[in-house]
Amino acid sequence: MNRLCLVATAAAALLFGHAVFAATDYPTRTITFINPFGPGSGSDTVCRILADPLSAALHQPVVVEDHPGADGMLSAFYVHRAAPDGYTLLMATNSPLSADPFLHKNVQYDVVKDFVPITRVGSFTLMLVINPKLPIHSVKELVAYAKANPNKLSIASGNTAGIVAGDTLEHWAGIKMLNVPYKSTPPALDDILGGRVSMMFADFTTAMPHIKAGTLRALALSRIKRSALYPELPTMDEAGVKGFNLDAWAGLVAPTGTPPDVIAKLNKALRPIIDSPAVQAKFKIIGFDGFSSTPKELGDYIKTELADWKKMVQDANITQD
């Protein structure tokens, strides 16, 4: 019996020692960013901007895998089930970690309990964009046109921000549009450019090149304050949708159980990268407001956003599916 106890104790010490070594020695192999949307999406672009400098800082490859589908739930569930070792990280957004629990019944993870926050990455500014062939140049004209032409307009959504923003607009204006869901923003924009769908709330990252080319028309911003990147564009609040303030955020999280020193090492590496002039310049080009945080700040923010998105979904009278 004593021998068995000694063997068990030695085995436990060995396992503990290995876990400590693995955490302290981290990383020793490739780190993967799991992106909840498709190639060319805003979150995909942000992942790729961060991947190379993080690889240089940690001396290991950092790759990006796109796992689009179910408004980001597929990617969140994938990371939730991944080994909690710091090698599989979720580029979390408001879709899987703020809105999905109130939009869908079958969310198979707990936003707060199943993930460990690492750092905020920033926020996407959304704008309401429309096919320029339509005779609509403002939110006021949009509402008037929709009322005069019932069932003629359609609105795409490439994420939960688009769903909630579109339904909020319909509820406020008393109009009805055909809602067309997509797995990601780029294919939705393709159909707007082709005239198959009328409009959508899209992030700066994917929409701005088309606006500059004149193939899309921007009507309003989703945030309460105007953007320095597009100061002439009014906000939805200024356009008459009072109090409209939708923030599409991004942050990195890991599966619960990831060692605290691994989280600390990732945060220490990522914060100077996110806040560096070089990365900030790249963020500015794509219309992304980048900034870092402590893990606690991101954790507190996620809890606040859960309450805010619950209210937005309820205020827009969106039925959980």
Q: Nearest Cα to 253, choosing from 21, 100, 77, 25?
A: 77
Please determine, for residue 152, whether its predicted confidence score (pLDDT) is greater than 50.
yes
Q: What is the predicted pLDDT for the residue at 248?
A: 86
Peptide bond before residue 27 is cis, with ω within 30 degrees of 0:
yes
Please determine, for residue 110, whether its predicted confidence score (pLDDT) is greater than 70.
yes
Please determine, for residue 100, whether its predicted confidence score (pLDDT) is greater than 60.
yes
Mean pLDDT of 58-64: 98
pLDDT band of residue 241 (cuts 50, 70, 90) is confident
Q: Judge whether 256 and 113 are in contact, CB under 8 Å.
A: yes
- Token pair for 19: 């876990």
- Paired with 116 in beta bridges are 254
- Paired with 129 in beta bridges are 200, 218
Please determine, for residue 247, whether its predicted confidence score (pLDDT) is greater than 80.
no
The rounded distance, in Å, linking the Cα atoms of 216 and 202 is: 11
Q: What is the predicted pLDDT for the residue at 1?
A: 45
pLDDT tens track for 43-56: 999 999 999 999 99
- Alpha helices (H) in the chain, listed in sequence order: 2-25, 42-58, 73-80, 94, 100-103, 139-148, 160-173, 185-193, 204-213, 260-274, 277-285, 295-315
Instruction: Please tell me whether the overall predicted TM-score, pTM, comes out greater than 0.75 for this model.
Output: yes
pLDDT tens track for 275-312: 999 999 999 888 889 999 999 999 999 999 999 899 88
Q: Nearest Cα to 119, choosing from 244, 270, 283, 287?
A: 270
The rounded distance, in Å, linking the Cα atoms of 68 and 258 is: 24
The rounded distance, in Å, linking the Cα atoms of 274 and 251 is: 11
Q: What is the predicted pLDDT for the residue at 14?
A: 47
Q: What is the predicted pLDDT for the residue at 195?
A: 95
Please determine, for residue 19, whether its predicted confidence score (pLDDT) is greater than 50.
no
Please determine, for residue 157, whether its predicted confidence score (pLDDT) is greater than 60.
yes
The rounded distance, in Å, linking the Cα atoms of 78 and 82 is: 6
The rounded distance, in Å, linking the Cα atoms of 133 and 151 is: 17
Q: Nearest Cα to 89, choosing from 57, 59, 121?
A: 121
- Paired with 288 in beta bridges are 124
Mind giving me the DSSP string for 64-113? EEE---GGGHHHHHHHHTS-SSSSEEEEEEHIIIIIHHHH-S---S-TTT
Mean pLDDT of 261-288: 95
Please determine, for residue 63, whether its predicted confidence score (pLDDT) is greater than 90.
yes
Q: Where in the chain is the domain with CATH 3.40.190.150?
A: 2-123+247-315
| 27 three-state secondary structure | coil
pLDDT tens track for 197-233: 999 999 888 898 999 999 999 999 988 888 887 899 9
Q: Judge whether 159 and 75 are in contact, CB under 8 Å.
A: no
- Percent of the chain surpassing pLDDT 90: 68
- Alpha helices (H) in 220-286, listed in sequence order: 260-274, 277-285
Cα dist. 114→80, 83, 91, 161, 267 in Å? 6, 12, 15, 22, 19
Look up residue 261 and give its amino acid: D
Q: Where in the chain is the domain with CATH 3.40.190.10?
A: 126-221
For the chain, what is the mean pLDDT?
90
The CATH topology of domain 126-221 is D-Maltodextrin-Binding Protein; domain 2 (3.40.190)
Q: What is the predicted pLDDT for the residue at 219?
A: 97
Please determine, for residue 245, whether its predicted confidence score (pLDDT) is greater than 70.
yes
pLDDT band of residue 23 (cuts 50, 70, 90) is low
The rounded distance, in Å, linking the Cα atoms of 29 and 19 is: 16
Higher pLDDT, 150 or 257: 257
Pick the CATH number of 2-123+247-315 from 3.40.50.970, 1.10.357.10, 3.30.565.10, 3.40.190.150: 3.40.190.150
Q: Judge whether 248 and 160 are in contact, CB under 8 Å.
A: no
